[in-house]
Structure formats: C-alpha cells, structure tokens
Amino acid sequence: MTNSNSLSEFIGYVQKQKEAALIVCDEYTDLIDAGRVLVDAGFTRTSSPVDALDLMQAGKSVVATISHPLLKQWYDFIAQYTERGGMVQLMDKETMEYKAAQFDPLHTHFVVLVSVGDLEKIETSGFSVREKVGLIEQV
C-alpha cells in the first residue's frame, strides 16, 4: 500500500522542478495507488505519448505508467521533457506527422510510474530512464 502522505510530499517537490519525475513501485497495486494520488493532486493520466503532448499543450500536468517493452515514443518524451525545458516533439505514428507541445515546465509537470521489475527490464534493453529524469521516489 502506497503511503499517500509521503507521495503527496514528493508531488510538492515535483511541482517545484522542471524535470520529469519517476515513481518506482514495488508492487503493481502501488502503481494504481500512486496514480490515484497523482490524479487527486490534479495530474491527468494518459497511456499515449501523443495524447500527453495535447494535454501539456493545454497546460495540464501528466502522469503516465510505462512498462516493458517501452515504447520508443515514451523514452523520447521523457528525455525531451527534461532536456528541452518546455517543448516536446514526437512523430504521430497514425498521421505520420510531427506533433509538438510547448508549455511552462514550472506549471505543467510530468510524472512517470513504473514497477521495479519493468524498470530493470527497460534499462537492460538500453533505455536509461533514470538518467533522463530529475526526482525519483520508490514506493
């Protein structure tokens, strides 16, 4: 069971950062609990990197759960969110056109949820997620 007080405190720190944040969960039920706490804090949940662009363009903070195998689009999104400070650009595979979002990273935040097991598999497959984020919390 996720400690919602600890997670709420972590969210407070995230909202003062410009980098993407990562929450690593020991159990799959913790992913659900952490997602619920983030939604209650005003984040919008999405499973699509392209939809995340639209949400951020609209000024909404986003939470996404990633798993193995990781979509390259999610890795690109995570890396660009932190490295470009206010702009993310991805190829929309449905329309085969580039889509971009510009936003203020001090008001539009991005949190990634992942299980310990999936994170290990993702990083073993060559996607160094932990190197692309700022704050990391393990629950």
Is 28:116 a contact under the CB 8 Å cutoff?
A: no
What is the distance in angstroms between the CA of the first residue and the CA of the last residue of the chain?
8
pLDDT at site 99: 94
pLDDT at site 134: 95
Is 123:22 a contact under the CB 8 Å cutoff?
A: no
How many C-beta atoms lie closer than 10 Å to residue 54's C-beta? Answer: 14
Structural domain count, the chain: 1
- Counting as low any pLDDT under 70, the low residues of the chain are 1-2
- Between CA 112 and CA 12 the distance in angstroms is 15
Classify strands 62-65 and 44-45 as parallel, antiparallel or unpaired.
Answer: parallel
Rounded-to-10 torsion of CA 11, 120, 99, 111: 0
Looking up residue 10, the CATH number of its domain turns out to be 3.40.50.300
Q: Domain containing 88: what range?
A: 4-138
How many C-beta atoms lie closer than 10 Å to residue 35's C-beta? Answer: 20
pLDDT at site 126: 96
**In angstroms, how far apart are the furthest CA atoms of the chain?**
43
